[in-house]
A and B are shown apart, each in its own frame.
Chain A
Amino acid sequence: DAGVIQSPRHEVTEMGQEVTLRCKPISGHDYLFWYRQTMMRGLELLIYFNNNVPIDDSGMPEDRFSAKMPNASFSTLKIQPSEPRDSAVYFCASSPDRGGEQYFGPGTRLTVT
């Protein structure tokens, strides 16, 4: 298996622009997670899905952030409008079990200028 795939790997955008991050989980994994990692705040869970349904979005910082999972093999995290404080590495992870080990993608490094 190719593992969790994320695109793009790097994104540089200007404040106010829309940013869309993409994730393809490992086939057969029922759980998908979006994380954000910064030096200041560490690793933060933003949202997770089970069988394409959002289960917990309490970590989504504000209405500028939205996530969708239209099918079992694809998810997006959108930021609109983006702000410099959104600069971070965003990880997608998937898991076959509730509370089981998660397999992480390589991350997307987002820079908002």
Chain B
Amino acid sequence: NAGVTQTPKFQVLKTGQSMTLQCAQDMNHEYMSWYRQDPGMGLRLIHYSVGAGITDQGEVPNGYNVSRSTTEDFPLRLLSAAPSQTSVYFCASNPGTVFYEQYFGPGTRLTVT
């Protein structure tokens, strides 16, 4: 199993550009989520999904869109990048209840200039 994979590892965007951060897992996990990590802020939940076709907002959803068409994939879209979205983004998955720990991907470091 590859676990949770994220692409790209690094990305630089100009203000106003759009892009999609990819996340995939091969563990057949129902629950997937996106976090951003900023200095002094810990990990903040952006969006999450409890299964294919079902998504919901986390703590900091503004400026991001998600969709979940398959169990395996959970892409995160930045609609119009802003410098405030400069961060490290982590995707995570777990089998489907809160009693299971989450498995995190290696992260995508995004810089918006």
Do A and B share a complex? no
